[in-house]
Structures are given as C-alpha cells and as structure tokens.
Amino acid sequence: MNKNIVQDPVFFNPDYHDLIGLIYDSVTSGDGFRPFLQRFMEVFGGHSASFAIYDTKNNVPLGYWVVNIPEHALKFYIDNVAHQDVLVETAIAVRQRDGLRFVATNLDIENIEEVGKVTRADEWLASFGARIAAGAIAFHSDTYLNFFGMQRSENQPDFSREELAVFDQFLPHINRAAELYTKMGELKRENIPERTALDQVQQGILIFDATFKVVFKNKTADDVIANNKGLRLNEDGMFSFHEKEFSREFIISLSEAVRASLESTDQTEAVLCYSHGDQNLTVIVSPLATGKPGSGEASKRGGAMISLYDWANRPSVSPEQLERFFGLSRAESRVSAFLLSGYSTIDIAEQLNRSRETVKSHLQSIYRKTNTSRQGELVALLAASSGVG
C-alpha cells in the first residue's frame, strides 16, 4: 500500500470528508459557506472564523460569512483594519509565490506585536476575544478574491506548521467551490441566458467535480432521475445506479474522464447504455476542458459532464424516416433506430443477428453520412431529430 495514502489525513478522517462535503454544499446552499465555517471551527478548535469573496473590480463583497465575530467588530475591521490587513497581504504574497497555502500571524509575520499595534489588528482581535489568526487566499482571479480566516483565543494553542499543512488539504476544494460560487453569482446578477438555456436542453446534464460529486444539474436531469428508479443522487451529491455491474462501469468511465480533465489529455467520451426494467437510458461521460498541461491553476481543476438520454417515451421516428433524413441505407437506419431506443452495439448485433463488427461498420458509415465522428455526437443528433430528451 502507498505510504503517502496511508498518511493522508483527509483520505481517512470522516470529519474531513464531512468538511469537504460542506464546502461543495456551500455553492448552492442558502446559508452559503457558514455551515462549513462552523464545522471547521469545531473540528480544528477555532474561536471565530470568516469567509469572504470580494469583487475586486467593483470593490464590493460578493459574499461574506462569519462565525462568532460580532457586528461591532466587523465595523471596526472595515473602518480601521481592512485597508492594511497584514495577514491578507501576506496570504496574497504567499499564494503568488507558493500556491495554495495557509499562513498564520504567529508563524509568518515578523515583529507581529509591533505590526499588530500599528495596524490596530490587535485591538480588533481583542474586541471579540481573539488573539491570533490564520488564513489563506483560496481563490483568486482577475475579478474575484476569496479569503478564508480563523482566529483563536488566549486559552487556545498557537497555530503550528503541521496543523496548517492539514488546513492546506482543503484549499483545492475551497478553490473550486469559490470559483463555482462566483460563476453562479454572475449568472444571477447579470441574468444572462446560459443557466436558463441549460434547463431547456432536452437531455439531462450533470456536472461532476474532481471529487466525483455533482455540482450542477439541469431541470431535465432532475426529471430523468425522478422518473427512473434505477438512478440515485444522494444529499452528498453522489450519483449512482441500482445495477452494481453498470455502476462499476460508470465509475470507471467517470474516473477516466476526470483524470483526462485534470491532465488535459485527449479522451473521447464513453457511451454507456443502461437498462432497468422497461427503462432504457443512454449515458454519455465526457471530460471537462480545463486548460493546457502545465498552465498552472487551471490544470488543478477537473471534472466531467454526464449527458442522460431517457428513451422511456419511445420515439416515433421509423427507420424509413431516418433513411430520408440522413440518406442512410436500410441496415444503417435500423441500427440508428435501435440507438434511439437506448440499445448498445452488442444489443443491436443480437437484435439484428449480425456480428458486432458488422454493426461497427454500419456505425462508421452512419458517422460519415451524418457528419459526426463519435457515438455521443450521433446519439445527440438522433435525439434532436426525434425530439427525445
């Protein structure tokens, strides 16, 4: 067994798994990042905490959450400390130099006692019973900056390097969640049509992050999941299928797509056919593009998009119609009609009493005639032509 995995505290500790779940829940929760802050303090013994996402271009907060920091202390911070917050300045410098990493006033700021007096940071901390602070810039773009900080009181221990190293394990997840939050905020504020458009797409769409959790789903996906008893999406954002063998195949495809996304390598989508009772689904697993290899932060984010085509309402398109639409031969139109019913290539070969190689040959010819190059594209085109979501 890999010793690095054994020693990874985030991999084994259930509290840490709980925290990661809360991070991603924050993106769409009405309480934002506050439940995550509260739990983080409980797990790591904090006195108070804050989490802010700033729109640096317009100099306004996009979101701000605090735990155990009273209103009078917030006002004092804004009036007297915010413009010269040495901890934030240090965190920005460290992030630019070293990447995602926590810093602490007792570890990373020289002459902290003098600095605390000059900047009035000591006065601010004392106003709500805090003594020292640690924080990090988890997400920083041309438009937004996210700072996550936690304070400790006089009767709590100093921050240690070992402890901050554990905190660092959560920063990639906070980075992704904060970025998603800013994108959601842009969609809401500007009322641009992308989100509505996704809800109008006929196929179900699920977006998975690099931890295999669903971070977005459109309305059609909600309908597909509700109408198919063999599909499950739990409160933690984990998506699964009732059939164990298919679930295993899906997880392997999802893992490969996420890996391709993280490594920015070329990989075509996986097309899976799922049957449960009288319900047939085509499931297309595609890696999300995140940037070129070695392009820095973009390469650390990854994910996958799942397209769900529900063939419960059998399309009325006949093989003869497909022949006319796309200039297919009779054999090719029959293969296409079976695809429209959610059959796999193996199933189609059995139905037509043909070899799998013959069916694949028909598919190659269909690709040429429909100007598609992959089975996922072909399924999308056939679904659009038949009006099936």
52-80 confidence digits (pLDDT tens): 999 888 777 888 899 999 999 999 998 89
Q: Are 215 and 27 in contact (CB under 8 A)?
A: yes
Confidence at residue 323, expressed as pLDDT on a 0 to 100 scale? 78
Query: At 13, phi and psi to the nearest 5?
Result: -75, 120
Confidence at residue 338, expressed as pLDDT on a 0 to 100 scale? 83
Kindly give, in sequence order, each residue whose CB lies less than 8 Å from that of residue 205, ignoring residues fewer than 6 positions away. 198, 216, 217, 218, 220, 221, 305, 306, 307, 308
Average pLDDT, the chain: 82
Instruction: Categorize the per-residue pLDDT at 380 as very low, low, confident or very high, splitting at 50, 70 and 90.
Output: confident
**What is the mean predicted confidence (pLDDT) over 93-111?**
94
Work out whether strand 270-276 and strand 239-241 pair parallel, antiparallel, or are unpaired: unpaired
Instruction: Categorize the per-residue pLDDT at 385 as very low, low, confident or very high, splitting at 50, 70 and 90.
Output: low
Whether the per-residue pLDDT at 200 is higher than 70: the answer is: no
The residue behind tokens 């009609």 is 337
Whether the per-residue pLDDT at 321 is higher than 90: the answer is: no
Query: Which residue ranges form the domains of the chain, and what is each CATH number?
Result: 3-184 (3.30.450.80), 193-310 (3.30.450.20), 319-386 (1.10.10.10)
**Which letter does DSSP use for residue 223 in this model?**
H
Tokens encoding 112: 């902290």
**What is the mean predicted confidence (pLDDT) over 192-204?**
53
What is the spatial distance between Cα 99 and Cα 58, in angstroms, rounded to a whole number?
25
Q: For 282-292, what is each residue's pLDDT tens digit?
A: 888 888 765 44
Radius of gyration of the chain (CA): 26
Confidence at residue 202, expressed as pLDDT on a 0 to 100 scale? 62
Q: For 123-175, what is each residue's pLDDT tens digit?
A: 999 999 999 999 999 999 988 999 999 999 999 999 999 999 999 999 999 99
**What is the mean predicted confidence (pLDDT) over 205-232?**
86
- Single pTM value for the model: 0.50
Confidence at residue 53, expressed as pLDDT on a 0 to 100 scale? 93
Q: Which range is most confident: 71-80, 188-197, 241-250?
A: 71-80
Instruction: Categorize the per-residue pLDDT at 389 as very low, low, confident or very high, splitting at 50, 70 and 90.
Output: very low
**Which letter does DSSP use for residue 299 in this model?**
G
**What is the mean predicted confidence (pLDDT) over 4-20?**
63
**What is the mean predicted confidence (pLDDT) over 300-308?**
77
Would you mind telling me the total number of residues written for the chain in this entry?
389
